[in-house]
Structure 1
Amino acid sequence: MNIFSNTFSVLERGLDYASLNQRTISQNIANVDTPNYKAKKAEFSQVLQDSMNALEATRTDSRHFAFHSQPSSSRISIKQPNEYNHNGNGVDLDREMSDLASNQIYYNAVTDRLSGKFNSLQSVIKGGK
């Protein structure tokens, strides 16, 4: 018997993605002056696909779609190979700072939703008091 809904694991994966994205953006910013460094990015589509693959369901009819779970990890890839400095560096500092702010907003939204789920669970445990 599973006490928690699948929502907790999906939100956990969202936090994992935000953390990975934060590390990737921070690494890009730290290497803004490194010659021949190419900016990297975390791929959200891979994280989304992982979450979709983790859905569990029971087929009650042969006409229903089959659900399956396949574990896989998030990927980091190199962004478009643009050079913003004369030394071959591919980091656009303004873009990275914008991505950092967007990632912070995403992280805050996921943590707020997770907090709301725990508050709902706490309310149920206390009997609505």
Structure 2
Amino acid sequence: MNLFNSTSLQMLEKGMAGAQLEQRAISQNIANVDTPNYKAKRAQFRHALDNASHRLEAERTMPQHIEFGKANGQAYVSVDKSTDYNHNGNNVDIDKEMSNLAKNQILYNALADRISSKYGSLKTAVKGGR
């Protein structure tokens, strides 16, 4: 049994990686708010987390067994080309980006707090409850 490789820790780590990707996309959008013809970027990672969390993992003990349970969804950054908010072809809405930034920061902090709590529980168990 590997204490540091549990499914919940893996999901928390994937969530933090996705939030980091989102942070990068939002930062680029804010930095380019006045750049002509710049199109807003969006991180797409929640689908990967949903796919991974709703799938069962199975261990194959024989090669004849059917393999299932591997989530293949990957996080990626997409470009929104469907809208134009400004006269210069830019579609970055600074108010929306600041709102997304705040939401993403709350998500990241919650995930970091949860990971810290998990490792704190392991630390308490290793110390024998002291």
User: What percentage of residue pairs aligned between the two structures are identical?
Assistant: 53
Name the structure 1 match of 2:47.
Answer: 46
Work out whether residues 54 and 71 of structure 1, in 8 Å CA contact, stay in contact via their aligned partners in 2: no
- Is 2:114 aligned against 1:122? no
The two structures have a TM-score, normalised by structure 1, of: 0.84
- Tell me the SS of whatever aligns to 1:35: coil
Name the structure 1 match of 2:109.
Answer: 108
Counterpart-to-counterpart distance in 2, 1:103 and 1:40: 14
Q: Which amino acid aligns with 1:2?
A: N
Q: Which amino acid aligns with 2:52?
A: S
- Tell me the SS of whatever aligns to 1:120: helix
How far apart are 1:77 and its partner, in Å? Answer: 1.2
Counterpart-to-counterpart distance in 1, 2:48 and 2:73: 9
Counterpart-to-counterpart distance in 1, 2:76 and 2:50: 12
- Tell me the SS of whatever aligns to 2:118: helix
Counterpart-to-counterpart distance in 2, 1:2 and 1:67: 21
Counterpart-to-counterpart distance in 1, 2:28 and 2:44: 15
Q: Which amino acid aligns with 1:35?
A: P
Work out whether residues 19 and 104 of structure 2, in 8 Å CA contact, stay in contact via their aligned partners in 1: yes
Unaligned 5+ runs, structure 1:
60-65
How far apart are 1:50 and its partner, in Å? Answer: 5.2
Q: Which amino acid aligns with 1:103?
A: N
The two structures have a TM-score, normalised by structure 2, of: 0.83
Work out whether residues 43 and 76 of structure 1, in 8 Å CA contact, stay in contact via their aligned partners in 2: yes
Unaligned 5+ runs, structure 2:
61-66
Work out whether residues 48 and 72 of structure 2, in 8 Å CA contact, stay in contact via their aligned partners in 1: no
